[in-house]
């Protein structure tokens, strides 16, 4: 599905979440899709830029990877090289195709900060394509749901908790719903420390 058709009408310099059972494509020269692209050269030749080391650093890769070929890299590192290439090419839109699937939790937090920085300081528009709602709800301005190759819903950030049934639920959401099923008045939280405090208050008050 052509990503530009989904995003073009949206305000720029924002982060959007995209959820749906589709394959993303782009023929638009303003878009970079970040994926585990393989290449027939070393990373240095593939990046082909004096900015290679700084862009690799932003993508959490070390210089030593420059001499490696794509066949020597993990899928996670291939995705990061693809991101480094996008940062060098400096296109307006960066589309992350399941980028979160090969990251540690610490790296996920770093990249969330990077996406915010890229939208604020560099006026990029970031599109995060994933099936993990938790990677979106503290960062995306809107979540766009695709069904049968069409936009079926666009959900603004203030309404995320109202449409949880549409998603593969986060662990914290499933846990809260088990508490609610006991007839206990518990609201939805995104952060486990907030949930922890709420449980403590409930137990303290009997």
Partner 1 sequence: MKVMFQVNDKDIQDIDTTILYTPSFNYNEDAVYFINNNCLVITKDSSPQSYDISDDLYKLFKEEDLKSKSDLSKIDEIKLQILSSLNSDKEVFVFFNVLTYLDKPFKEKIISYLKTNNKRIINYTTQIEETLLLDYLIVIHNNSVIMEGKKELVLQEEKIINKLGFNLPFIVELSNNLKLYGLVNKTYYNNQELVDDLWK
- Measured CA to CA, the distance from residue 161 to residue 100 in angstroms comes to 22
> Does the footprint of partner 1 cover residue 152 (CB under 8 A)?
no
Q: Residue 78's closest CA among 33, 32, 129, 35?
A: 35
- Pick the piece of the chain touching partner 1 (CB under 8 A) from 42-50, 112-120, 156-164, 187-195: 187-195
Tokens encoding 156: 């603004």
Work out whether the CA dihedral 189, 193, 196, 198 comes out positive or negative: negative
> Does the footprint of partner 1 cover residue 192 (CB under 8 A)?
yes
Restricting to residues 13-42, name those near partner 1 by CB under 8 A.
21-23
Restricting to residues 83-102, name those near partner 1 by CB under 8 A.
98, 101-102
For 124, residues 6+ apart whose C-beta sits below 8 A from its C-beta are: 13, 92, 93, 94, 118
Helix extents (H) in 60-191: 75-89, 105-121, 171-180
Question: Which residue, 92 or 188, is less far from partner 1 as judged by CB?
Answer: 188
User: How far apart, in Å, are the Cα atoms of 161 and each of 136, 143, 154, 170, 199?
Assistant: 12, 12, 14, 11, 19
> Does the footprint of partner 1 cover residue 196 (CB under 8 A)?
yes
Tokens encoding 104: 């540690």
> Does the footprint of partner 1 cover residue 171 (CB under 8 A)?
yes
> Does the footprint of partner 1 cover residue 179 (CB under 8 A)?
yes
> Does the footprint of partner 1 cover residue 76 (CB under 8 A)?
yes
Tokens encoding 80: 């990061």
> Does the footprint of partner 1 cover residue 168 (CB under 8 A)?
yes
Q: Identify the residue among 9, 182, 205, 206 touching partner 1 (CB under 8 A).
A: 182
> Does the footprint of partner 1 cover residue 2 (CB under 8 A)?
no
Residue ranges in contact with partner 1 by CB under 8 A: 21-23, 71-77, 98, 101-107, 131, 149, 168-169, 171-172, 174-175, 178-179, 182, 184, 192-193, 195-196, 199-200, 203
């Amino acid at each position: 599905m052509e990503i530009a058709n989904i995003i073009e009408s949206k305000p720029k310099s924002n982060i959007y979440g995209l959820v749906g059972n589709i394959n993303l494509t782009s023929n638009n020269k303003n878009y970079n899709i970040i994926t585990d692209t393989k290449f027939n050269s070393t990373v240095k030749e593939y990046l082909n830029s004096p900015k290679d080391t700084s862009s690799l650093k932003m993508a959490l890769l070390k210089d030593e990877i420059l001499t490696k070929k794509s066949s020597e890299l993990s899928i996670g590192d291939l995705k990061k090289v693809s991101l480094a290439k996008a940062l060098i090419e400096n296109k307006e839109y960066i589309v992350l195709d399941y980028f979160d699937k090969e990251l540690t939790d610490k790296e996920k937090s770093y990249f969330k900060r990077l996406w915010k920085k890229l939208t604020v300081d560099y006026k990029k528009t970031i599109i995060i394509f994933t099936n993990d709602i938790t990677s979106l709800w503290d960062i995306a301005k809107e979540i766009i749901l695709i069904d049968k190759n069409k936009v079926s819903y666009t959900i603004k950030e203030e309404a995320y908790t109202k449409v949880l049934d549409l998603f593969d639920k986060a662990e914290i959401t499933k846990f809260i719903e088990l508490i609610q099923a006991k007839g206990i008045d518990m609201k939805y939280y995104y952060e486990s420390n907030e949930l922890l405090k709420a449980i403590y208050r409930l137990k303290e008050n009997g």
